[in-house]
Each structure stands twice: as C-alpha cells, then as structure tokens.
Structure 1
Amino acid sequence: MSRVRPGTRHYKVVCSSCGTRYEDDGLVLDCSRRHEPAFLRTEYDGIGAHAGAHTGESTGLFRHAPMLPVARTFPDVPGPVVHRAERLGRRIGLDRLWVAFNGYWPESGAHLPTCTFKDLEAYTVLGRLPAAPPVLVIPSAGNTAAAFAWAATRHRVPCLLVVPAPALERMRFPAPLDPCVRLVVLDGTATYSDAIACADLLAALPGHHAEGGSRNVGRRDGLGTVLLAAADALGRLPQTYVQAVGSGTGAIGAHEAARRVRADGEPLPRLLMCQNAPFAPLHDAWHSAGPAPAHREHEPLARELTNRRPPFTVRGGVRDVLTESGGDVLCTDNEAALAALALFEEIEGIDIEPGAGVALAALAEAVRAGQVRRDELVLLNITGGGRARQAQDIALVPAEPWLRVAWPGREEGPRFVAEQVERLLTGAGAIAVGEGR
C-alpha cells in the first residue's frame, strides 16, 4: 500500500536561496521573496540514508512515492529498469558499467508507455496537482509532450501542449487523445525554443498555468527516481552518472535524489552531462565558450536536447550541481551519436533514442580520453528507447492537433499563436497568418 494518502502532502518545498519553507499547493514554482533566481526543492518527512524511501510496491514509479512530491498516486505506472551492461562496458573500456533503461523493452521488464523517462516526470507532476487543477501549459520538443499527453489522457487532466512540427512523429499512442488534451503544432521553421516562448504567453490565459519545466519540483524528483532505482540495484550510489541533457533537469533531479539518500560520508555521484554538437548551450556555458548560435538549433541529431534557455546560473541549477558533484559537460557530434545507437542495438538488442546515443558516445569518448577510469562504477541513463520495438508490438494512433499554426517567425510568432488560441477558446475560430493584422 502507498504511504501517500490522497490529498495529503508529506513534504515541504524550500527555497534554495533564502531557505523559506512553503506548504505545497501543487502549483507553486518560485519563491515569493526578492532575491536571485533560485529553484525550490523538496524536503520529505522521515527520509535519509536509503531509509523510508519505498512503499510496499516492488516495482514501478510510485514505489518511490515517499520521495515524490505527490498528493496522489496512479496505478500501474512503470519505472526505470537498471541492469549491469558488461558486454557494452567492455566495448567502451569500462569494467563496471550499469545502465538505467527508460523505455519499452518487454524482455527486460521495461514498459514506459511513451518510451522515454519523460513518463516519470509527467506522472509525478500530475500527481502533485491540486484536486481541481488549471489547464497545464507545456512546451516540448516531442518527448515531454508525448508523456504528458498520454498520462493526461489516461487520467483526464487538462493540458495545452505546444510543439514544433517535427515533434508530431513522437505523438503516437495506443488510442486517441482525450479532448481535455489540446495539442498546438507550430509549422514551418519553429523550434523547441519557439514553443517555449509561445507557452510563456499561453500560460497567462485565464484558467491556464505554466507547468514550469525545471522549476517544477515534480519534474526533477520524478526524473530523480532513475537514481533511486539505481541505488536499489547497486546497493550504493554510482561514482559517476552519465546523461544527455537539454535543460539539465534530469541530471539535477538525480543529484538532488542522491543528496537525500546518501549514507554518511558517501560521495555524491560525479555528473557527466552530455550534449550534441553543433548546438550545445550548456557545454558552451560551462566551458565559457559563449552562447551557441541560435541558427544551429536545427542541426543536432537529438532535437530533444536543443534548449536555448537552460537553468545554468539559477541557484540550485546546472552550474551548482556540476560544481558540487565535481562534474563536467561533454559534447559529441552526430556521427558519433549514430555509431553509438548502432552499437547499443547490436550488443543489447534494443533500439534507443538519439539523446541516449549522444550520452553513450560522449561516455565512450571520455573513457578513451582518460576522463573516466576503467574501474569506475558508472551509471549510464538511457533516457529513451524501444520506440521501434513498441511500433512492432502495438498499433499506435497518430495524435490529431487541436490547432496547427503557420509559424510567421520568431519576432511575431508567440503573440500570433496566443491570439489564435484565444480565438479558438472563445469560439471565434482561427485566422490565417497576416489576416486582420
């Protein structure tokens, strides 16, 4: 039985800058006091050194409900699957490589419904919401939108999702989406960053609320269950944690989870965040190489990693967790990532997502360069996989957009999209680009 009772809150949210503590209402994203930008973080009742971190459930996301900021849980939500990858480790020069697989791989017990670890954050964010939530507004490059769309469909939670057109290839589900899930698609040259800019305006509409991205403690703690599952499997924390990142939210979540459960004197895992050249804003910021040119946002293989506004300098954000963990940001190119995709499927027998290929390629390069020792205990987060396998096993239905917008350009695009959405919500109907302007 879950230790989380519906409607109760077994945690507080605390400002990383000033320490102000809040009772969570399921929606708060920021500290109300004036100071530097800072993440809120969670403090759980009776948690520490691996104790009290589980329910009686043997598997699944909500096995870790005592360490998730939720007022309710959902049944039958899968979690990560962690296994030792000896053959893969030997191929890249590691003796103690473990993989946290997040995706669809029935033979290994992996059943995440939309094939990435974004399912973990979606269910946690929905479980955090108050009983009568506003419409959550969520921008995405594809994977996050898919996860929220399916979780919200299953549990009838209103969401407005904003994605660039290439993301539609990720929006395929076992059944049609519920009408409470509205999908806005930006056609043309729009990018993930443009979807974020649109969502900022749409969240201000009456009855709507920003989901919050990395500022949402539900996202970070949901993704942090990858680290909790690994600690269960290993009996300790890994020495090094490797993950591909766009915003860095998952790696921050892993770091925060490690801080909560480490034993006295146990070192925190070194974070190795991985990005995909030629557009690698976090790598460039960490290595002081200056901002990545925005026009290169279309070029990486792993489009899900293209976030132009990652939380680098915010208190509790990427820079802080890299510094505290002694970590680094690695970067690899499309060619190496493609080779890593093929290598993983050859050895492990399952397809993986481009972002996961970036992480494997960057790790292999770091081993060759001596940045990772052969005997290090390494956890590689395969953030998505099994999409091709799922398509073989399950008949999937393409999502129908609620609104498709011909993107007029970055300068006027967000306001134009907001006007289109407002017209549809009020029954006025959409307009064409340039009409009545």
Structure 2
Amino acid sequence: MNGEHYAVVCVECGTRSADDGLITSCRGCADASLLRTDYRAAALPVSAGASGIFRYREWLPVAREIPGSSLPSVHRCQNLGAALGLTDLWVAFNGYWPERGSHLVSGTFKELEAFTVLARTPEDAGVMVVASAGNTAASFALAADQVDLPCVLVVPDRALPDLGVIDALHGIGRRVRIVAVKGGTYNDAIAYSQGLLAADPVFFPEGGVRNVARRDGLAVVMLAGYEAMGRLPDYYVQAVGSGTGAVAAHEASRRIAAQPGGGSVPRMLLCQNSEFAPLHRLWRHWEATGGAVAAGPGDGGAAGQRGTAGQEDVHAPELVNAAPPFAVRGGVRDILADSAGDVLVADGAAARAAGALFEETEGIDIEPAAAVAVACLREAVAAGRVPRDARVLLNITGGGRRRTRELAGRHGPEPDAWLVGTAGEPAATAAMVLDSLAL
C-alpha cells in the first residue's frame, strides 16, 4: 500500500479505501464517478526542505519521492495585466524559464502529473501505457528516467520532435518505448493505446482523469498559487482538452477553502479552440436544458462533437479531446456548477495575437494552448465578464520551448519510435515492445 497520509474516496457514494497505487474507480460506482484523495493534513503542508513538487508531499498521493521535478513560477504579471485591463493578474508559468525559477524541461505543466503518477505507481505493476497529444508523453519521457517502471508512450507522429528535445537535453528513460501514429490525432493515439492494453494483461493504463495522482499532481499549480498569493484567486483561467487540470485545480481549491481562513473557491474559466470545443458545447447544452446531459460512450455524447473532422484545423491541437469527462460525478460539469464557472472559446487569430502579446509584455514564448487561455481572458475582460479589479490566476500551461529547442541545438531530433498506421495491428506492436523490454 501507499503511504498512510491519505485515503481514496468515491465522490458519488463516499466509499473509502486504502490506495494500492493503481486503483482508478470505485467498485460500486465504476465509471459513473471519480475517486478523490482525502489527506490527513487538514491545512496545506509545506516541506521546505523537499525539492520540486514534493514540497507539497503531504497533499500528494505518493509512496516515494522522485528527483528532478520542478515547480511552476507564480508571479504577479503587471505588464500583461495592464495590457488586458486587469489590476491584479497573477500567472502560474509552467515551462522552461530559469530566470523565473521554472525549470520544467518538457515545457508543460504535464510534468507535474508525470512525476506524481510515477511516484504513486508500484514499480512491479507491469508496463504503463500513456496516450498523449505530445505534452504528457514528453513529461513521462523525462520523469521515467528516474524510476524503473517500463512505459509505452503512444502519440501522433507530429509529437516526435518535442520528444526529441527531451532526448537531446536529458535523455529518455531506458525503459520508455514510443509508438507514433502516422498522420494521427490525439484521439487516434487513444484508440491505438486501447489496442495495446487489450493485447496483453501486462499492459495497464495510466488512468487519465481517473488517476488521483494525475489530478493531484496538476493541482500543484493551485497550491503554488495559493502559497505565492496568500489567498485563493477570484478567478482561475486555464486552457483545457479533457479538463483534468481544471478539475484538479478546483479540488485543490476546495481543500484550501476548507481550512481556517481558506477563503472561497475561484470561478473556473475553462478555455478551448472555437473550431473544436466539446466542453463548451456540452456546458451550453447543460445550461440551455436546465441540467439535461447528452452523454454517451466516453462521456462525450452527441453534444460532445465526437469524431475527427476539424480536429487538426485548430490553433492548439493538444486541446482536442472528443470525449471529455463532462458528466461523470466529480468531473467538469460538477466543478463548473460548483464554482459558477464557464467555458470560453477563442479562434486561431485571437490566440496568435494573445501569444504575441504575452511574449511582448513578459519576454517569454508560450505554447498554443496557453495562448488560447490568454485570448479567452482578454475577451472576457473586454466584455465585462471578469471585473478589472478581480484577482485572477492564469495558468500558462506551457512555455519556454523556444529556449529548450535552442539548447538542444536543433528543432527536436526524432527519437527511436515504432511508426504505425491508424489501422495497424496493436497486438504485433505490443509483442515488439515486450520483446524489446525483455518481458
């Protein structure tokens, strides 16, 4: 079992259990509900001597510490705030910006979840399968170098250059294997990973939003924000695909708000590409029908804009998820309703302009998804949906990659990978993976 400093609890029925490091659902409620962690420490604990994310170890579901993690940089953004018309804007920068104290070599906040998930998972669990648009894979490739757990990363082939940067700067874990879907989307990577999981019982899924370590690792953004600001923000703004990071931030806010003097949970403003916005459609449908949910397989439903049409014609492909966890108990719908939140959208032109504005005012490049969030916030302030004197925490989910590519000396050399087609045979790939791992 993992440490005795927490238990896992079903959001729907309240069933509590010890954590074996792998559990992702309640036996009774199954996929209808998420699990959450319940920590013994009632107030936010800070381990000043610990490195990286393990500064908050007592609010992380981990069995051990893994060296090499980094925290986001949280700072007041006066220049960007003035440009947006905000007097109290704070940014949680997740990326490579050493001058600000952020050393996430992957250039993304997914690094927070990778270290937490690997610190929770038993090393004899089998072979972890991680489906990713690219950011999560880059983070696991980096973090897995510190553990002896074999991992298979399944990505669209366009993600290979950024994995190559990790290989050039840090080295990819010796027990990491990469499967790249030629011309594929994130959803193609998900589908292929499911084929690997079905091919041999030694493979097990990383778990996505259902993995409490993934969510609590991403929640470090809110913990660091609270520590830096001294209180919770009035608004929290983040670009989302599945919405896992936003669910994590809300859960952390609830924990903080429950402690003496913790304050109120912030309004959650989630941001998507206007061209492909399943969560926006689902939320608007839920509002318009007075709470009816059009949910189907994978929790996306008819209103979830399922399918692959238009998925690549967006500014931030990493935000494309055709089946987000909207209606599941404890999922996106619940956190939006609980926080009086909303889902906003921005098109590519607005996002490009917002990305340029951030670099002009703050002096660092940001990833396309983060630019979508800046664009949505800009439009929300202009429309009067966010008060100009509100304290806003903007999660810049990725940035500084221009620096890491320069340090690597090239724009991402491609690492060793198995290239497969969307109609390829996962069982054959699974056999090659296991043979290469000598399993």
Question: TM-score scaled to structure 1, two decimals?
Answer: 0.90
Match of 1:279 among 276, 279, 292: 276
Residue ranges of structure 2 left out of the alignment (5+ in a row): 289-302
- Encode CA deviations 1:41-79: one digit per residue, 9 max, x unaligned: 00001223x3xx211337621101110000001224111
Partner of 1:401: helix, strand, or coil?
A: coil
Aligned-residue sequence identity (percent) comes to 50
Pair 1:312–1:232, CA change in 2 (3 A): same
Structure 1 residues 221-232: aligned runs within 5 Å: 221-232=216-227
Pair 1:81–1:214, CA change in 2 (3 A): same
Q: What CA distance in whole angstroms lies between the structure 2 residues aligned with 1:176 and 1:379?
A: 33
Contact 1:185–1:401 (Cα < 8 Å) also in 2: no
- Encode CA deviations 1:137-178: one digit per residue, 9 max, x unaligned: 010000000000111123332101111111112212114423
Q: What CA distance in whole angstroms lies between the structure 1 residues aligned with 2:37 and 2:170?
A: 35
Q: What CA distance in whole angstroms lies between the structure 2 residues aligned with 1:395 and 1:78?
A: 23
Structure 1 residues 63-142: aligned runs within 5 Å: 63-142=55-134
Partner of 2:154: helix, strand, or coil?
A: strand
Q: Post-superposition shift, 1:40?
A: 0.4
> Which of 73-82 and 271-280 deviates more?
73-82
Residue ranges of structure 1 left out of the alignment (5+ in a row): 1-5, 408-412, 429-437
**Is residue 2:308 matched to residue 1:313?**
no
- Encode CA deviations 1:15-42: one digit per residue, 9 max, x unaligned: 0111111110111111111466100000
Q: What CA distance in whole angstroms lies between the structure 2 residues aligned with 1:268 and 1:75?
A: 32
Structure 1 residues 116-265: aligned runs within 5 Å: 116-171=108-163, 172-173=165-166, 174-188=169-183, 190-204=184-198, 205-262=200-257, 263-264=259-260
Contact 2:124–2:149 (Cα < 8 Å) also in 1: no
Pair 1:183–1:337, CA change in 2 (3 A): same
Q: Post-superposition shift, 1:402?
A: 3.2
Structure 1 residues 12-91: aligned runs within 5 Å: 12-34=7-29, 37-48=32-43, 50=44, 53-57=45-49, 60-91=52-83
Contact 1:162–1:199 (Cα < 8 Å) also in 2: yes
Matched to 1:75, the amino acid is: P
Pair 1:144–1:256, CA change in 2 (3 A): same
Partner of 1:74: helix, strand, or coil?
A: coil
Partner of 1:99: helix, strand, or coil?
A: strand
Partner of 1:291: 304
Contact 2:41–2:59 (Cα < 8 Å) also in 1: no
Partner of 1:3: none
Partner of 1:273: helix, strand, or coil?
A: strand
- Encode CA deviations 1:264-307: one digit per residue, 9 max, x unaligned: 57211100000012011101111129332630111111011001
Matched to 1:418, the amino acid is: P
Aligned Cα RMSD in Å?
1.9
Match of 2:418 among 398, 403, 423: 403
Contact 1:9–1:70 (Cα < 8 Å) also in 2: no
Contact 1:176–1:399 (Cα < 8 Å) also in 2: no
Pair 1:36–1:307, CA change in 2 (3 A): closer
**Is residue 2:369 matched to residue 1:355?**
yes
Partner of 2:310: helix, strand, or coil?
A: helix
Q: What CA distance in whole angstroms lies between the structure 2 residues aligned with 1:164 and 1:316?
A: 29
Question: TM-score scaled to structure 2, two decimals?
Answer: 0.90
**Is residue 2:9 matched to residue 1:11?**
no
> Which of 292-301 and 122-131 deviates more?
292-301
